[in-house]
Structure 1
Amino acid sequence: MDLVGRRPEREAVERLLDEARAGRSGALMVSGEAGVGKTAMLEHARSVAALSGFRVETSVGLPSETQFAFGALHQLCAPLLGHLSALPGPQQSAIRTAFGQEAGAAPERFLVGLAVLNLLSEVAEEGPLLCLVDDAHWMDEASAQVLAFVARRVAAERLALLLCVRDPTDDGDLRPFIGLPEVRLSGLTESEARALLAASVRTPLDEEVRDRVVAEARGNPLALLELPRSAPPARLAGGFELPTALSVPRRIEDMFHQRSRDLPSETQLLLLLAAADPTGDGALLWRAAETLGIEARAAEPAEEAGLLTIDSRVRFRHPLVRSAVYGACSEPDRRRAHGALATATDPRFDPDRHAWHRSQAVLGVDEGAAADLERSAGRARTRGGLAAAAAFLQRAVDLTPEPAVRARRALDAAETMHEAGASESALDLLAIAAAQPLGDLGRARIQLLRATIAFHRTHGSETPGMLLDAARTFAPLDASLSRETYLDALDAAIVLGGPGHPRAALNVAEAARSAPPAPGPPTPADLLLDGLVTTFTEGYEAGAPSLRRAAQALDDDLSTPHVAAEPDGRRWLWLGSRAAVALFDDDLAYRLNCRNVRLTRDAGALAALPLALINLCTNYLLEGDFARAEELAAEEVAITKAIGAKPMALTTLTIAAWRGHRVETIAGRDSFAEGADGLRTGTAVSWVEYASAVLNNGLGNYRTAMDAAVLACENDELPQSNCALPELVEAATRASRPAVAAAALDELDSRARASGTAWARGLAARSKALTSTGPAAEDHYRAAIELLGACRIATHLARTHLVYGEWLRREGRRQDAREQLRTAHEMLSEMGAGAFADRAARELRATGEQPRKRSAQPTDALTPHELQIARLVAAGATSREVAAQLFLSPRTIEAHLRNIFRKLGITSRRQLRDLQLA
């Protein structure tokens, strides 16, 4: 039957297909209540695509399938695996491991996503491809996250993804798909409803019945089709049951249930078997039916009633038939059905479904079934299915008879639930674990997990204390775990510190002095803990040597391939790179941040990649390479959106501040201030205030800059205060607040002496010059230029030329001032520090010299994303290599390259290399 109405929605779907056929991929989410016509829209897309030469592949989400990691994704990709050999080796392994075809370490979720993106892209090379996913809200979490990632990264392939989801008020999880382009189906108009009713119901209906059916259905197409079908023929001739308060989808489910309830008991049991088995395997269904003594003819009444069809596959008329049958059955019948399916499922070839059906057949407890589920959880975790592992373990807890074993499994399940992102369920499982007999180590694990959940959910000020309690409990039981937990507590205190929590890090550091000694040779984590504790309790000068040993040990460790390949090998890079910046060690910070980005990319750890990109972006920004900083900032925002998270955009804000973009910086600052509380930690607030200080120093709004820099320095995050202290000295000096400037200079100078790096000593020398007069000031300016010229921090070298030139002009030395201001203007203009360059230009004009305008560069026409691709290609990377690094398809990279060539007026990669972008 043709779709009635839906013209705008049909046009949206057809537009998606037209764009895909032309090589412009896209994704569309069709949403609406149950029965509103989403599946019909998919069928319309299928028929249009078939006429247009598309290959069509499908997947259907099922409530009973949510515990099988990558199950829905495997359903979609299984017919395409013949193209797997075209993918790079790591991507092939990721897919095979995820689908249980190969043993190995659990693949990162988004490495599987990149592999699926490239697999679909390879298939689309042969002809346009349409992927249809019905009831996507019922997909397993791993499949949903991967497909949502793919939907956000498709670009230049001949590929269309069409996903159907129920409204958020219905069952299922829509979180992975939030933000995708969407078409929402609402009810049909009255005239459309009458047209559909007339076309579908052959029995004559009098007007009163027709009016009641239309009113009862409320525009829901499936209801319009099912209400007359569920009523006795006599009632269709006159009279109809009055509408009730039930929602339409629930009423439709009730009708399907009523229709199935009127069938023979043997047929009802067969329907239940089919509803309980998510695979749709006809042979499996008949094996299970045989164990219950059900004969083949039992299917005929169900097929005649239009509820399902059975051949090699089992297909329900609508997902609501399945849910109606399964939801309305008695518990004993449900257990019988799962028991029969467990018997029919071969434990050698499908051990996880066998274990799951067996577990659902149990009344009470059963250690054997629980142990099977625990083994299934281990296999699911190996495939990267944390949500599946958590579901298996949660059911294993229910079936476990022995209290001590039940406690252990509940704790394991809670940790896995939290890793899978289900913190509320994790807390419920922790309550079960806490009620069982647990040893001291188990109780410490409970404390640690509760603290970790609190930190991730609320960033509340109580988190460091909770972590400290766990660290103390671990101390006599596991020294290494105790020390790592102390380090986590200190990290949390640093992140949460600042205004409102000024002593958070100091309090935790004082407590951490009682941490047990390292049980063996100190690891980088041990050295980081010792260095940070010493720094916060005894001062920067005392702690700097320990921090240097820690950061250097981390650098040395990660130079070893086998260490770098382990997830734990990357764990402390976040703290280690911050320690390097805390020491003003620009080379070490750059090395650690580059390594962090590379290792995180290689692992496909997209959840961790944005933070790694932020840190490296800061390196490039301070070096004056604003273009590269913008490339990484754009990638960070794109990756964050691709994984369905909310970008913090702190790097974008800071780049705007350095560029002197007042409107963008203020808008970003205001947006941050209005954002979610979970993002407004002490570290993030300090970052925003630091950006404000940079902007206002550039614009000459020194009092505003000083106020912002004071707030930026209040956090215990040493890298942030290191960056903010020179801003505070300059702003306070120019705002005629010498006491504030002197206090900031004392702290900066103390850190510079302890650090000993050219970066630190150069900033201290410039700050001394700003607060000095006469020959002493000039000596400090010259020393600052020499020192900053010997390190990577070109932004502050340029700004030192600027303030030196300003000082020389005020001293009446115009010729000398011109030399410094000319250098400052050229450097600042070249890097794009607009407000500071304008300051230099004004000063130059005041000396009688007209500043030169920066000449346009060919690459100015490129977006940050295009410039990043151009750099990689210019460095010799192939399209496949660039695609793997940026989590895109090679075809998308080729499309970007065509745009890049057009904008640059070139035609080849060799010409791109000649531009020396790398």
Structure 2
Amino acid sequence: MDEHTGDLGAVPRPEPDPGEPIVGRDAELARLVRAMDSASADPAAVLVGDMGTGKSALLDRAVRHAEAGGARVLRAEGSELESSLAFSALHQLLRPVLSEVDRLPDRQRAAILDAFGTGPAMPRYSSAPDLMLIGVAVLSLLSALGDQRPVLVVLDDAQWFDRASLDALSFAARRLEGEPVTMLIGARGGDHLPGFDRHVPTLILGPLDNAAANQLLDLQPKSPTGHTRTRILDQAGGNPLALVELTRTATAADAATGLPTAGPLPLSDHLERIFAARLNGLPAATARALLLLAAMDSVDFTIAASAGLPNAEDDAWLPAEQARLIRRTGRDVRFRHPLVRSAVYHAASLGARREAHLALAAMLRDEPDRRAWHLAAACPRPDAAVSAELERTAARARRRGGHAAAAKALQRAAELAPQRENSARLLVEAAAAAVFTGDIAWVKELAAAVRARTDDAKLLAAAAVQAGRLAVLTVRHSVVFSRLADTAEELAARQPAAGLELLAHAAVVRFYSGADTQRHRIQDILRSLTEDASYTGLRTWVRAVCDPFGDRSELVSLLPQLAAEAQARPEQLTTVGIMAWLLDETPQAVRAFDEAFASWELQGTLPEGLGGAVAWAYVERGRWEQAREACARTIAVGRSVGLDHAVACAATVDAAVLAYQGDATAARAEEALALIDPLESRSVCVYARRALGAAAAAEGAYETAYDQLRMVFTADGAPLHYHASYPAVADLAAAAVRCGRREEAAAIVERCARALAESASPRLRALINRARGLLADPEDAEPHFRASLADPVLAHWPFERAQILLDLAEWLRRRRRIAEARTPLTEALETFRRLGAHPWIERARAESRAAGLDVTDTAPDALAALSPQQQQIIRLAARGLTNREIGERLFLSPRTVSSHLYRSFPKLGITARSQLRDLIEDTLATAGHS
């Protein structure tokens, strides 16, 4: 059992692994640890939460912490069976130290022994034990034990403690201040805990937030992905026990017979036994009401209550409330735990479930989507009418951007479609929608279902295309490329459109792998495909992705037409943007991305092949904050659906931005390298090395920087990747000059220049000229620097242009042309400030001072003391975003955002969120005039 499942009463609980994290409970664990501190003002704390929220896990961790510090631990766990036995809990707690009881004063010793039923008859006292005296005895005993060493008292499942024990322990708890004793109490939410209600601080364990819930799923032996993961997250409601148990049952059911497409996920046998006793013997009216409630989705209740479900005040709910199955709050009725819903639903017969869903469908005539799902849940066999209802539901979901919802509706519609060909068509459409969830296994499952239902060549080709769309995001590029190319070649004659689509996906794999043999194969297949004006966009995509510098001028000339055709079609605009980025037309790429995202928010879905191009384009244009947001989105979604290659792509971009900003940590780039095979994914390898090189250069470790950047090229100096390697030539040259590797670097630069020849973009020509200027003899450098700055288009790559300006200024100052150096220096420093490129700011400042510019009194960047992530959060907060909104943008929990803000305010010299906007505006103004 997972450590989060540790408050199930009498259910055995193995000791959690000390090294295993308690997900999403850092603040609560820190609070418990503080309570154990000898200086704590609150030596007792109550931990309250529903079953499965992790109370016992936190208490276990507190116990290990105390034992590691040499404390004595006394522990008792409540039992429902013993809750009516007076002092049973206190006896369990003190049994290990009963020998110490003999050292208590006579009256106290006698009172405790009498309470435990082990002492002699004491007629001189009342026939009932003196509870006050027992409380004093407990306090004395704990204090005496504390004189020997610190004591931790842990009371778990205290809601099942007998009242007498609670009275004695609460008496002691209120008097522990100044004693080397800590008392931690765990109890169920909603339970009255006499004596501890008002006098002891309470920590409430609510549901895990979305980030923590996803992290817990990632830690499971078989982490769920895609729509199964979404169902588990929705049903569990942030409860750790529910997340773990539903994952186990979903995994087992999926492997055996497949998951039910509607209704709650089934429970494990372990949990069914826990709930079975509470369901037995309920009145018929109560059982029916519970089943209706269980068959609903989370928002049905308010709609259906007035149409047949008993209202919250109805006596039908009372037996369920007494059985601790539901909770009534105002006009609302909710299950006490998300797993109770599953237990109620699956305990009912198939016939009873069907009747419940039909009743709900009748109530929901004004809610067509929910009505369709209830009708589907009630269908024992194919039904054309219900299938059509679900297809209409899918269409509405797609219009709202609900790709997963659309795919699920279409998959269920296919199951209910009487005609096999219609079923296959619906499955193809489901696969097309599922692509945007990033769930490869689901798309493959849907494609396989198509093959099982039809021999129609067109549908089979369409299914292959959908499966190929996501296959490009896996790390097995050689295998995937062969499969895509073979199928494209096979379809070239009879289904040329499908063949071309598959070839487009194969081109993406070629980009990631960088293998030249793949380029030749793609070009051969492309030549075999019939020319068709309606597929110009796809053919251009294949050519641009496969070999962007082969026919660059012609490809660039096609972009305006393709962009015009893609207007108001976000997917197509994104495709045009990626092509523009590949061709070093970054301004056009960013415009396309901006237009696409204005009408189509990619939050929650994964961009298709080459999605990292979006982030790189924003980096190149100097919009680093947006680049990191795009990376955070891709990393979070990629991790949740198991697309390691997508995660690696985004991590390399993020690592590069962090390096430019002065965060020299190599974690992001090293994570990317660990996720891929360098021989299979040359593009990711190159981007990671570029980021590592930038990080090393930022720290002045130029030998390390050169070694990293040298790996961007082969042993004989050729580009390791036909697109990703070229932009590194200038950084390679800069590192080489500072570590004495000038000759080797010059050979690589010239080889790149020859390879590109006239196909080089203006940007690459500028970078090659910068590299030549850095590597040239001092007297020969100026023409190269001037040539690299000659084309005004370089302004669209502000960081690269500022680097060249700084190089030129440094060269001019060393030639004692100080007056000439000041203009490029000023411009470079302004750009670095705007971008937040701190290592470059410091270098430009030092050079400016050497050139006689007054930069010593310049106000420092107010955000300079913050980490890059804190800077992101501060900037978003200054724009008025809430913690939850910032968390959604950066895929952080609101708690993490709040923590960063709390730590950042003192560094910024402010005390309120309302001061952030003025602070950011002042910082920008300072940067602009320094």
Measured against the shorter chain, the TM-score band is 0.5 to 0.7
Distance 2:862 2:473 in 1: 40
1:517 CA displacement: 1.7
Cα gap change, 1:30/1:670 in structure 2, threshold over 3 Å: closer, same or farther?
farther
Cα gap change, 1:34/1:720 in structure 2, threshold over 3 Å: closer, same or farther?
closer
Note if 1:546 corresponds to 2:554: yes
Superposed CA offset, 1:341-365 (max 9, x none) = 44x3354x23334333333333333
Residue 592 of structure 1: aligned partner: 589
Residue 688 of structure 2: aligned partner: 688
Note if 1:377 corresponds to 2:394: yes
Counterpart of 1:547 in structure 2: which amino acid?
L
Distance 2:469 2:740 in 1: 44
Q: Determine which of 506, 516, 526 is the counterpart of 1:489.
A: 506
Cα gap change, 1:655/1:341 in structure 2, threshold over 3 Å: closer, same or farther?
closer
Cα gap change, 1:764/1:612 in structure 2, threshold over 3 Å: closer, same or farther?
closer
What TM-score does the superposition give when structure 2 sets the normalisation length?
0.58
Residue 575 of structure 2: aligned partner: 572
Distance 2:708 2:676 in 1: 25
Alignment of 1:710-749 (within 5 A): 710=713, 718-728=722-732, 738=743, 741-742=746-747, 744-749=749-754
1:596 CA displacement: 1.4
Task: Tell me if the contact between 2:320 and 2:326 (Cα under 8 Å) persists in the aligned partners.
Answer: yes
Task: Tell me if the contact between 2:397 and 2:403 (Cα under 8 Å) persists in the aligned partners.
Answer: yes
Cα gap change, 1:785/1:612 in structure 2, threshold over 3 Å: closer, same or farther?
closer
Residue 859 of structure 1: aligned partner: 861
Distance 2:724 2:872 in 1: 27
Task: Tell me if the contact between 2:424 and 2:454 (Cα under 8 Å) persists in the aligned partners.
Answer: yes
Distance 2:775 2:414 in 1: 67
Distance 2:928 2:571 in 1: 35
Superposed CA offset, 1:698-743 (max 9, x none) = 6442852552331598777554222023445566787557476335
1:787 CA displacement: 5.2
1:798 CA displacement: 6.0
SS at the partner of 2:407?
helix
Residue 443 of structure 2: aligned partner: 426
Distance 2:886 2:857 in 1: 35
Alignment of 1:409-420 (within 5 A): 409-420=426-437
Task: Tell me if the contact between 2:766 and 2:787 (Cα under 8 Å) persists in the aligned partners.
Answer: yes
Note if 1:171 corresponds to 2:246: yes
1:139 CA displacement: 12
Cα gap change, 1:666/1:699 in structure 2, threshold over 3 Å: closer, same or farther?
same
Residue 652 of structure 2: aligned partner: 650
Distance 2:54 2:917 in 1: 53
Distance 2:601 2:553 in 1: 34
Cα gap change, 1:514/1:816 in structure 2, threshold over 3 Å: closer, same or farther?
farther
Superposed CA offset, 1:452-499 (max 9, x none) = 3433344533223333345445545665554344223212210232xx
Task: Tell me if the contact between 1:138 and 1:172 (Cα under 8 Å) persists in the aligned partners.
Answer: no
Q: Determine which of 274, 279, 285 is the counterpart of 1:252.
A: 274
Cα gap change, 1:336/1:705 in structure 2, threshold over 3 Å: closer, same or farther?
closer
Superposed CA offset, 1:812-866 (max 9, x none) = xx64477788778767666377777898999999xx9999866543534465678
Cα gap change, 1:329/1:752 in structure 2, threshold over 3 Å: closer, same or farther?
same
Task: Tell me if the contact between 2:465 and 2:501 (Cα under 8 Å) persists in the aligned partners.
Answer: no
1:572 CA displacement: 0.7
Distance 2:30 2:741 in 1: 66
Residue 557 of structure 1: aligned partner: 564
Residue 69 of structure 1: aligned partner: none
Distance 1:405 1:841 in 2: 69
Structure 1: which 5+ runs fail to align? Answer: 17-27, 46-50, 52-58, 62-71, 74-136, 149-161, 176-245, 291-295, 582-587, 622-627
Cα gap change, 1:409/1:886 in structure 2, threshold over 3 Å: closer, same or farther?
closer
Counterpart of 1:169 in structure 2: which amino acid?
V
Distance 1:826 1:405 in 2: 67
Residue 134 of structure 2: aligned partner: none
- Give the structure, 1 or 2, with the largest relative contact order (CA under 8 Å, sep 6 or more): 1
Q: Determine which of 748, 752, 759 is the counterpart of 1:754.
A: 759
1:434 CA displacement: 0.7
Counterpart of 2:453 in structure 1: which amino acid?
Q
Task: Tell me if the contact between 1:804 and 1:817 (Cα under 8 Å) persists in the aligned partners.
Answer: no
Note if 1:276 corresponds to 2:276: no
Distance 1:850 1:41 in 2: 70
Task: Tell me if the contact between 2:829 and 2:845 (Cα under 8 Å) persists in the aligned partners.
Answer: no
Distance 2:358 2:54 in 1: 30
1:686 CA displacement: 0.8
Task: Tell me if the contact between 1:273 and 1:288 (Cα under 8 Å) persists in the aligned partners.
Answer: no
Distance 1:597 1:282 in 2: 40
SS at the partner of 1:710?
coil
Task: Tell me if the contact between 2:673 and 2:688 (Cα under 8 Å) persists in the aligned partners.
Answer: no
Distance 2:785 2:470 in 1: 50
| Aligned-pair Cα RMSD in Å | 6.0
Counterpart of 2:655 in structure 1: which amino acid?
L
Counterpart of 1:250 in structure 2: which amino acid?
E
Cα gap change, 1:870/1:668 in structure 2, threshold over 3 Å: closer, same or farther?
closer
Q: What is the aligned residue count?
A: 687
Cα gap change, 1:720/1:257 in structure 2, threshold over 3 Å: closer, same or farther?
same
Residue 674 of structure 2: aligned partner: 674
Residue 195 of structure 1: aligned partner: none
Distance 1:844 1:321 in 2: 69
1:756 CA displacement: 6.3
Distance 2:846 2:509 in 1: 45
Task: Tell me if the contact between 1:256 and 1:324 (Cα under 8 Å) persists in the aligned partners.
Answer: no
Distance 2:505 2:512 in 1: 10
Distance 1:834 1:436 in 2: 60
Cα gap change, 1:692/1:327 in structure 2, threshold over 3 Å: closer, same or farther?
closer
Cα gap change, 1:793/1:749 in structure 2, threshold over 3 Å: closer, same or farther?
farther
Counterpart of 1:590 in structure 2: which amino acid?
P
Task: Tell me if the contact between 2:709 and 2:728 (Cα under 8 Å) persists in the aligned partners.
Answer: no
Q: Determine which of 363, 371, 383 is the counterpart of 1:345.
A: 363
Distance 1:373 1:379 in 2: 10
1:447 CA displacement: 1.6
Alignment of 1:809-828 (within 5 A): 815-816=815-816
Alignment of 1:622-633 (within 5 A): 629=624, 631-632=625-626
Counterpart of 1:166 in structure 2: which amino acid?
L
SS at the partner of 1:456?
coil
Counterpart of 1:859 in structure 2: which amino acid?
D
Task: Tell me if the contact between 1:274 and 1:285 (Cα under 8 Å) persists in the aligned partners.
Answer: no
Alignment of 1:312-323 (within 5 A): 319-323=338-342
Superposed CA offset, 1:284-338 (max 9, x none) = 6897799xxxxx9998977887766999866556555543332133334433443
Residue 217 of structure 1: aligned partner: none
Note if 1:387 corresponds to 2:410: no
Cα gap change, 1:304/1:488 in structure 2, threshold over 3 Å: closer, same or farther?
closer
Distance 1:760 1:11 in 2: 50
Distance 2:758 2:564 in 1: 28
Distance 1:382 1:41 in 2: 43
Task: Tell me if the contact between 1:493 and 1:505 (Cα under 8 Å) persists in the aligned partners.
Answer: yes
Distance 2:630 2:492 in 1: 38
Superposed CA offset, 1:134-160 (max 9, x none) = xxx999988998999xxxxxxxxxxxx
Distance 1:806 1:298 in 2: 84
Residue 614 of structure 1: aligned partner: 615
Superposed CA offset, 1:194-242 (max 9, x none) = xxxxxxxxxxxxxxxxxxxxxxxxxxxxxxxxxxxxxxxxxxxxxxxxx
Distance 1:510 1:728 in 2: 35
